[in-house]
Amino acid sequence: MLLSLKDIFVNEGMKSEHRYNLSLSDVELSGIYPFKSDVSVYALIQNKTGLVTIDIDVEYLYSRPCDRCFVEVEKNVKEHFSHRLVESLESDDNDEYIEATDCKLDLSELVTTDILLSLPSKYLCKGDCQGLCHKCGHNLNLGDCDCDKREIDPRLEALKQLLD
């Protein structure tokens, strides 16, 4: 959704609201398509005393397997993003402002970037997920398995065989 913001940059006190749905169903992350619903987007752009800001609220259904136990986890996500907008930047290394070149802003691109950057690098079903047993593959969140928990140094494996 391409927005023309010329009126907002010129008129102090002006604001503009936008609501729409954004499809991210074709976004692939590590071989998974985790966005199970359209992203509901609400954006408020306003000029307060010459400073143009955009506040974005998003809501979507996110589903992917836990990185430790591989159980599918579905989560309804609600997030808020806020940015300051400028018509031009003097340098490209400024992360505090979003440039609206020619007073135009691609809202869908901004929302997509914000969502992707906010996703955790490791997705867990719960904070204390035990994962899978490295020997038998049992989900340790469901209880212990019958595997021998004693770790033997591989260099001493030959001595263990003498004891058996």
- pLDDT tens-place string over residues 5-46: 888 888 888 899 999 999 999 999 888 899 999 999 999 999
- Tens digit of each residue's pLDDT (9 = 90 or more) over 130-154: 999 888 888 988 888 888 777 777 7
**Which residues make Cβ contacts (< 8 Å) with residue 77, sequence separation at least 6?**
58, 59, 60, 61, 62
- Alpha carbon distance 139, 5 (integer Å): 53
Q: How confident is the model at residue 128 (pLDDT cuts 50, 70, 90)?
A: very high
Say whether both 122 and 43 belong to one domain: yes
Tell me: pLDDT of 118 over 80.
yes
pLDDT of residue 92: 67
One-letter amino acid for residue 104 of the chain: K
Q: How confident is the model at residue 100 (pLDDT cuts 50, 70, 90)?
A: confident
Say whether both 83 and 147 belong to one domain: no
> Number of folded domains in the chain?
2
Burial (CB < 10 A; 0-12, 13-18, 19+), residue 57, is middle
Say whether both 121 and 141 belong to one domain: no
Count helices and strands (H / E) in the chain. Answer: 3, 7
Say whether both 82 and 134 belong to one domain: no
Say whether both 47 and 110 belong to one domain: yes
Neighbours of 153 (CB within 10 A): 8
Say whether both 82 and 159 belong to one domain: no
Say whether both 51 and 120 belong to one domain: yes
Tell me: pLDDT of 158 over 90.
no
Say whether both 11 and 81 belong to one domain: yes
> What's this model's pTM, rounded to 2 decimal places?
0.79
CB 35 within 8 A of CB 60: yes
CB 1 within 8 A of CB 20: yes
CB 23 within 8 A of CB 42: no
Give the residue carrying structure tokens 């010459």. Answer: 50
Say whether both 77 and 152 belong to one domain: no
- Residue 152's domain comprises 130-164
pLDDT of residue 5: 83
Tell me: pLDDT of 93 over 70.
no
- Tens digit of each residue's pLDDT (9 = 90 or more) over 42-78: 999 999 888 889 999 999 999 999 999 999 999 999 9
**Which residues make Cβ contacts (< 8 Å) with residue 7, sequence separation at least 6?**
14, 16
Q: How confident is the model at residue 2 (pLDDT cuts 50, 70, 90)?
A: confident
In this prediction, residues 100-128 reach a mean pLDDT of 90
Say whether both 88 and 22 belong to one domain: yes
Say whether both 104 and 137 belong to one domain: no
What burial letters (b/e) apply to 107-117, b meaning 16+ CB within 10 Å? bbebbeebbee
Say whether both 84 and 97 belong to one domain: yes
